[in-house]
Amino acid sequence: MMNSDKKFVNQSANFTQDNLTNYTSNTPINRSFGVALGRKYQLKDNTKWGFIGALRLENTYRQTQIDHSERGDFVENTSFRHAGSSDGVRVLKYNELTQYGFKNSGTTYKNKSALSGMFNGGVQLGGHRLTSRNIYVQMFTNNLTEISYFPFQGGFQEVIDGQPPVLRFTNFSEFQRLMQNKLEGRHRVNKNIETNWFLARTKLNRDIKDASQMDYLTKETSRGEYYNILDVDRRGFNTVRQYFDNQETDYNWGADISWKFKVGEFDNRIKQGILGHLNIIQIKMSRLVWVWQIRLMEQVAI
């Protein structure tokens, strides 16, 4: 027996109570909590002020069963041959579609948690009004996909001959934060002249802290036991870890003045104003790829 075979067999021997068990679990119940509150106060001399606020917490869970997938380097489980082509034994008289019994199947587990809040407030003093609007959203999303697939490089024949599947784990964790603020005002100088202005900012942060993909190969020892090893030498990009950080900030501002007057029987209004916009984007990215070769098994003549 090969030395590496002995190591894996000895490790497997430690699991005496649970060698092969299938577990089934239900998706957790989705939860959502929210609260909102608002008040308005009327004072004397056409003065009033008020506010409204809301807070919401949401947790959602979802499981998606993948019955069969054909993408990337996943081998197809069907083959099509045109009439008139030969399979080496006979010439086909009709088009022929063959479907094989194997599948590239698995499960995707999705978890999303979101916390959001809103607060608006305003005050009016006679002909002057000042308003503030604020929104904040923080969201975490995690997608884990486990799929057992047959690699395309093997083709149909190796799968039919008993080639074991590859186990692929893909994990995608994403954090998103959004904050919006706006301050605006309206001022009536008199019944004919009015000015308006606003300042606004939107900040978005999208942070993917650890996007990973790992493939595990199924190996067989000389005694017929099976074990899995991390695939780092079959192809170049089967084991990858990545990090992304995208920050975007928008600034908007504007102001205008309007004059209302009447000519004869017609009401007229002249408005003049300015608008401004500034956008700042920052992107950071890092990627770690295992491309070196690791030999976990040594071919030793017995």
| CA-based R_g, the chain, Å | 32
Q: What angle do CA 44, 130, 256 make, to 5 degrees?
A: 125
> Does residue 35 belong to any structural domain of this protein?
yes
Distance CA 245, CA 204 (A): 11
Q: What is the pLDDT of residue 1?
A: 44
pLDDT tens digits along 226-277? 566 665 555 545 567 788 889 999 999 999 999 988 888 888 889 899 999 9
Both tokens of 155, joined, read 């083709």
> Does residue 127 belong to any structural domain of this protein?
yes
Distance CA 81, CA 90 (A): 12
Q: Is the pLDDT of residue 294 over 60?
A: no
Average pLDDT, the chain: 80
The domain of 83 spans 3-13+30-289
For tokens 């041959």, the residue is 81
> Does residue 147 belong to any structural domain of this protein?
yes
Q: What is the pLDDT of residue 2?
A: 47
Q: What is the pLDDT of residue 299?
A: 34
> Does residue 301 belong to any structural domain of this protein?
no
> Does residue 118 belong to any structural domain of this protein?
yes
Distance CA 47, CA 125 (A): 5
> Does residue 196 belong to any structural domain of this protein?
yes
> Does residue 18 belong to any structural domain of this protein?
no
Whether the CB-CB separation of 87 and 79 falls below 8 Å is answered with no
CB atoms within 10 A of CB 173: 16
Q: What is the pLDDT of residue 11?
A: 62
Q: Which residue has the higher pLDDT, 27 or 166?
A: 166
pLDDT category at 293 given cuts 50, 70, 90 is: very low
> Does residue 25 belong to any structural domain of this protein?
no
Q: Which residue has the higher pLDDT, 226 or 119?
A: 119
Q: Is the pLDDT of residue 87 over 70?
A: no
| Count of structural domains within the chain | 1
Mean pLDDT of 196-216: 89
Q: Which residue has the higher pLDDT, 167 or 152?
A: 167
